[in-house]
Amino acid sequence: MSYATVEDMAARFGESVLIQLTDLARRGQVDTAAAQMALDDATAEMDGYLARYTRPFATVPRILTVYCCDIARYRLATGMRQLTDDVQSRYDAAVAYLRLVAKGQAGLSGLPENSAPAADSTVVFAEPQQKVFGRDRPY
């Protein structure tokens, strides 16, 4: 389940923008499959930053919907060679916010964080082994 829908993107950017970004067949309509794939890819990218939270969310915070649309638009625009400064800056802002969330410097209001650590933090050192190669042992 992605954090935004094709309808969210159409409401945010306009249907004509979505047609420009997705209509490879030149039918004059939004290719919903291409738009949904971009949203799913954006969600996957965002999930990498949201490891502190248990997903899927019961209700998606609005900020994630906004940033999911921005990231999906960036992905579509780069594929269609229609990248503008606005699209790039929106993508950069989304990733900057997600990095803050990942570091714990920003949060998602109303959502509890995972109580368990994400990974085992135990360090294990291996016993040193005999050298296999060296000046004293060429083979």
pLDDT digits (tens, 9 = 90+) for 64-75: 999 999 999 999
CA atoms of 52 and 116, how far apart (whole Å): 9
Where in the sequence is the domain holding 36, given as residue range(s)? 6-103
Q: Decide if 84 is inside a domain.
A: yes
Say yes or no to pLDDT of 14 above 60. Answer: yes
Q: Decide if 33 is inside a domain.
A: yes
User: For the chain, what percentages of helix, strand and coil (3-state, to nearest 5) are there?
Assistant: 50, 0, 50
Q: State the pLDDT at residue 108.
A: 84
CA atoms of 7 and 68, how far apart (whole Å): 12
Stronger pLDDT, 111 or 12, i.e. the higher one = 12
Say yes or no to pLDDT of 115 above 60. Answer: no
Portion of the chain with pLDDT greater than 90, in percent? 60
Q: Decide if 110 is inside a domain.
A: no
Binned at pLDDT 50, 70 and 90, residue 121 comes out as low
Count CB atoms within 10 A of the CB of residue 32: 14
Q: How many domains, the chain?
A: 1
Q: Decide if 121 is inside a domain.
A: no
